[in-house]
Structure 1
Amino acid sequence: MKKTHFLLSLVALGFINSCQNIDEIAVENQKQQEVHNKTVNVTNHDGRPFSTGIPVNAKFVAGPGGSVLMQGFYWGVPDGGNWWNTIKGKITDWSNAGIGAVWLPPASKAQNGPYSMGYDPTDYYDFGNYNQNGTIETRFGSKTELEALITKAHAENMQVYADIVINHNSGGQSEANPYTGTNTWTNFTGVASGKFPRSYNDFYKNAYGNNDEGAFGGFPDLCHANPNVQDWLWGRDDSVGKYYKNVMKFDGWRFDYVKGFGPWVVNTWNANVGGFSVGELWDSNVNTLEWWANNANSSVFDFAAYYKMDEAFDNGNLNVLNDDMMWKRNPFKAVTFVANHDTDIIYNKMLAYAYILTHEGYPTIFYRDYEEWLSKERLNNLIWIHNNKATGTTSILYTDNDEYVARRNGYNGNPGLVVYINNSSTWQERWVETSWSNQQIKDFTGHSNWYPTTQSDKWVKIQCPPNSYSVWSLNQ
């Protein structure tokens, strides 16, 4: 959810305008970044193109390195009901590039109707097929268009993850509330779908207590302790989770603002519904991230790595990449990222993408980075490297303020790789210990024209251009 730290309840247009102002600042920053991130042709020095992972008319097939997730939206995508069609039109290219899943914005009808980004949910079963909150379609389109998008993704062997907002609701009618002694906007008995009707006892404070772990922005705070709420979220055959999975055919979940409720909520959802899940726990403390992931039985976004990358690549201190991160604690529960719809603070993004796409964890590509702001050719090359070479555990070989070298140790016959990141203004060279004896290697990014052969003791000298990266593996 967009973190604007409200101290007032939602005023629809004011809410959207304030968030769009934040987005405009990010756009201006990225325009400046475009000058910095020039497109470089990815070619061999004998004229042959390096593989960027885009075969002709290929469906996504997971490689030895796993998969890559695309965040298929940004804050303030064009309104008018065309976004589902826009994403549908990109699915084949994303699949061809080696992207295995797409994360969509909250898909159901929200209070701000045709202008809402979905984080103020009213009716979880209205995907743009009921006339309420001033519109039939959502900001993103109709239910039919959403279903067509999901069908297209599945035809390309891609998964689709739904953004699930279950901390709070918005858009209810006013009703007398005996627990507050006032009227509250907690009457959702008239939602157009007729499913998951709610009243004051489904929100804090109520018969189950005064509050749970956290509230957000003055919205009515959903009470997960109430059996009626549990039943409608994950228990019933037509619960929100099971409807999304079995009827709409979503494959997984990105849970919004999980600081607002206990990790048992996500754990119970996953046990009853299934599918991939990742939580947005906005916290740089790796102990907190690991605690939540274990108790939620879920992946979690690696905010520890996110802030370390900002310090490393933007502040000239690559030594901090030795610090602890969620992907180091448990790579199978770490979703790494460089930017998203909420936060976009890293300037040297290509170095950050080189980091997450060669390291452990489940890397995420941000829509605007891929489609608008950075070199798609360079990102496709890194995606190919991730899917085909980034295997095995990680060994950090060297760090200083400007240089970082790490080795993926390979797995199940795949040779792994060595990644060299150089944040200085000059070419750098360094002797490193690889996993390979007496074998020729090459830089799969095309940044270096060296084809060195490793010594019998597995050592070799590699190089890296200024403010860039190289990725080395067996020349095969």
Structure 2
Amino acid sequence: MGVALLAWERFFGPHGERVTVPAPVDGRGAPWLLDFLATHVRALRNVGFTAIQLPPTSKAQGGAGPGCDGYGVFDPRDIGSKNQQGSLATRYGPKASLTRLVAVAHACDIDVYLDLVLHQRSGENGGPGVFRYLGADGETLNGRNTTAPGWFRGVPPDDLPDDDVPSPPDDFPFGRELSYQRCRPPRVTIEDALDFGEWVFRTTGADGARFDDVKGTWAPFVREFMTHGVMASKFFYSEYFDGNRAILNGWATQPPLSGRSLVADFPMHWALQSACDGGNARVLDGAGYTSWRPDLTCTFVDNPDTDTSPGQQVISNKLLAYAFLLSIEGYPFVYGKDYFPPSVWPGAYGLKPWIDNLVWIHEHLANGPTAGRFLDDKVVVLNRTGAPGLLTALNFDTMNARAIRCQTAFGANVDLHDYTGHHDDIRTDGNGVASFTIPSNAFSKGQSYLCFSRAGLNLASIRHPRHTTQTIFGAADLDTRPATNAETETGQIWVEQGSKIALRVGLDRHGVPADGSLKVTVTDARGHSVVEALCTGDHVSAEGTTGVTGEHHIRVAGRQLPEHGAAFSIDLTYLAPQVI
């Protein structure tokens, strides 16, 4: 399945407040998160990462402020493109940085997952339950779909009861909680969410998403969202915050979800916490929902919620947790705060050198079913039996090294190398049995693990650069103005030299005279035209080849269009540079 990086963090400020990743608005010289990641995706792919998970990128209450992590969503269709809530950018950067990151990640063969918060909204500005948004002119509150009290649970005068959510006692509003089952008028919130999903995935070109708080969201809507339109082809995993494997299994496998979404494996997190903080290896035997359905689980050691919640975080021996997680089945997510050093993010743990090695091991050695080979209170040994094979051994004993002799799937008289560098090479005996000594977990450093496989493997991560398709939607109630008879710039893309740019232009001809048309031009940073398209009907396509690497500008100019303009769409397919 690959390895994903959960590419953000929370840390604590000087007064104990939660702060989300540093940003330029803090005045300390930090870049926007989206720009920081764009400069790192090539290195991440070289290590072996295959995806990055972004935080929520819609405008939240408080704009770009230090505590605005994105979960208090104000305007879902503002992805750093409207001057609302005190800023143009979100906490993570402007829209152009988001679309550029996705394109650069694709060029490096990395998927990008959004974090969709469809459970609640915060920051109402028109009375209880009323959210009004700026439109494309940046001045008028004509943004798409002003809400009303009938959209939300418990807001007068409608006072809607809670939807039939999976776990009503655990359904906390976190702001104004949207109702999908009982909204008034019926389906108004569902249609708004489906429209948003189509817009955000086509605008960004993202490959999938985390779905926040499904425990408190009406499940038939979750299914409809994930199977509608462009979303039907996207990857999804869901946050169902529960430590009971049977409950996760019921939600994930039974109707209405029926396997459409993976789930975050919280039972695995709690098992890792018990093993690492309590020194008990036995809890890892059959741990997590992954032991039931590895095809439906996203595993993690910590995330921004657990890491900053007392009693929930893994405090000690995190490398042992990652050695286990990156050896077993399931889809592992590495927490960015564990990965990057504190020089990048305050409070980060700097485990990158060791995690890089374990990511390589996961991607090249960890294949096939998992077989347990040894287990006691302090030691667990497991064997991935697919080629080339992996034998991982962990020792939680802080006092003693452990000599282990166990059966393997490698066969007789096979030379094995420890790809962590912690042990000399060994050789299985005539029965395929391996003998080795796991170092003690002295000072609880968490480095008492071994990962054996066949000797002589020197495999590199291979990149397959991918093109990106993103759409610019011009409409008065979105974030890009409709086309007029004056030439205007509508967006930018970053393109690799010698690659093609393909356009598909659509013009909404409602109210447009028969001789009305729209011209779209893409120019490079020098002002040279790379491709032009003249749309005299409903649609037109064109392509051209760029001569330079870098920023390219998309400009539109209408002819005989109405004074108020005409809505349009531009699908852009292009190859971004791997380095910016």
TM-score by length of 2: 0.66
Residue in structure 2 matched with residue 153 of structure 1 by the alignment: 105
Change beyond 3 A, Cα 1:218–1:152: closer
1:123–1:191 Cα contact (<8 Å) kept: no
Displacement of 1:266: 2.4
- Aligned mate of 1:287, from 243, 246, 253: 246
> Mapping of 1:334-413 within 5 angstroms?
334-344=297-307, 345-346=313-314, 347-372=316-341, 373-410=349-386
Cα separation, 2, equivalents of 1:144 and 1:198: 27
Letter in 1 for 2:79: F
Give CA deviations for 1:388-412 in whole Å, capped at 9, x if unaligned.
01111111111111100111111xx
Displacement of 1:165: 0.6
- The answer to which structure, 1 or 2, has the higher relative contact order (CA under 8 A, 6+ apart) is 1
Change beyond 3 A, Cα 1:382–1:187: same
Give CA deviations for 1:356-411 in whole Å, capped at 9, x if unaligned.
0000011111112111213322111100000001111111111111100111111x
- Aligned mate of 1:196, from 145, 153, 161: 145
Give CA deviations for 1:190-223 in whole Å, capped at 9, x if unaligned.
4446223211111113769411235435511101
Residue in structure 2 matched with residue 80 of structure 1 by the alignment: 24
Moved over 3 A (4+): 189-193, 205-209
> Mapping of 1:227-246 within 5 angstroms?
227-234=187-194, 239-246=195-202
1:300–1:333 Cα contact (<8 Å) kept: yes
1:95 paired to 2:45? yes
1:99–1:383 Cα contact (<8 Å) kept: yes
Displacement of 1:432: 0.9
Cα separation, 2, equivalents of 1:341 and 1:73: 8
Find the residue that maps to 1:383 and give its secondary structure. helix
Displacement of 1:323: 4.1
Change beyond 3 A, Cα 1:106–1:396: same
Cα separation, 1, equivalents of 2:46 and 2:395: 30
1:166–1:222 Cα contact (<8 Å) kept: yes
Cα separation, 1, equivalents of 2:419 and 2:174: 51
- Aligned mate of 1:441, from 404, 416, 428: 416
Residue in structure 1 matched with residue 206 of structure 2 by the alignment: 250
Residue in structure 1 matched with residue 236 of structure 2 by the alignment: 277
Displacement of 1:89: 1.4
2:389–2:410 Cα contact (<8 Å) kept: no
Give CA deviations for 1:156-182 in whole Å, capped at 9, x if unaligned.
01111111111100112243xxxxxxx
Displacement of 1:189: 3.8
Aligned pair count? 394
Cα separation, 1, equivalents of 2:147 and 2:379: 56
1:110 paired to 2:68? no
Change beyond 3 A, Cα 1:376–1:143: same
Letter in 2 for 1:261: T
- Please state which structure has a larger fraction of its residues in helix: 1
Letter in 2 for 1:442: H
Find the residue that maps to 1:113 and give its secondary structure. coil
- Aligned mate of 2:277, from 288, 300, 314: 314
Letter in 1 for 2:275: A
Residue in structure 2 matched with residue 56 of structure 1 by the alignment: none
Cα separation, 2, equivalents of 1:192 and 1:112: 19
Cα separation, 1, equivalents of 2:98 and 2:174: 30
Residue in structure 1 matched with residue 177 of structure 2 by the alignment: 221
Displacement of 1:311: 0.8
Letter in 2 for 1:102: I
Change beyond 3 A, Cα 1:426–1:324: closer
Find the residue that maps to 2:334 and give its secondary structure. strand
* Larger gyration radius, structure 1 or structure 2: 2
1:168–1:216 Cα contact (<8 Å) kept: no
Cα separation, 2, equivalents of 1:401 and 1:253: 38
1:327–1:360 Cα contact (<8 Å) kept: yes
Percent of pairs identical after alignment? Answer: 30
Displacement of 1:70: 0.3
Cα separation, 2, equivalents of 1:307 and 1:399: 19
2:72–2:174 Cα contact (<8 Å) kept: no
Displacement of 1:327: 0.7
Letter in 2 for 1:404: V
1:407–1:434 Cα contact (<8 Å) kept: yes
Displacement of 1:474: 1.1
Cα separation, 2, equivalents of 1:276 and 1:218: 26
Find the residue that maps to 2:45 and give its secondary structure. helix
1:254–1:280 Cα contact (<8 Å) kept: yes
Cα separation, 2, equivalents of 1:208 and 1:96: 53
Give CA deviations for 1:138-168 in whole Å, capped at 9, x if unaligned.
1111111111111111110111111111110
Residue in structure 2 matched with residue 333 of structure 1 by the alignment: 296
Displacement of 1:324: 4.3
Change beyond 3 A, Cα 1:135–1:375: closer
Displacement of 1:105: 0.8
- Aligned mate of 1:474, from 429, 454, 458: 454
Letter in 2 for 1:457: N
2:72–2:121 Cα contact (<8 Å) kept: yes
Residue in structure 2 matched with residue 10 of structure 1 by the alignment: none
TM-score by length of 1: 0.80
2:388–2:453 Cα contact (<8 Å) kept: yes
1:80–1:139 Cα contact (<8 Å) kept: no
2:271–2:287 Cα contact (<8 Å) kept: no
Letter in 2 for 1:220: R
1:433–1:459 Cα contact (<8 Å) kept: yes
Question: Cα RMSD (Å) of the superposition?
Answer: 1.7
Find the residue that maps to 1:204 and give its secondary structure. coil
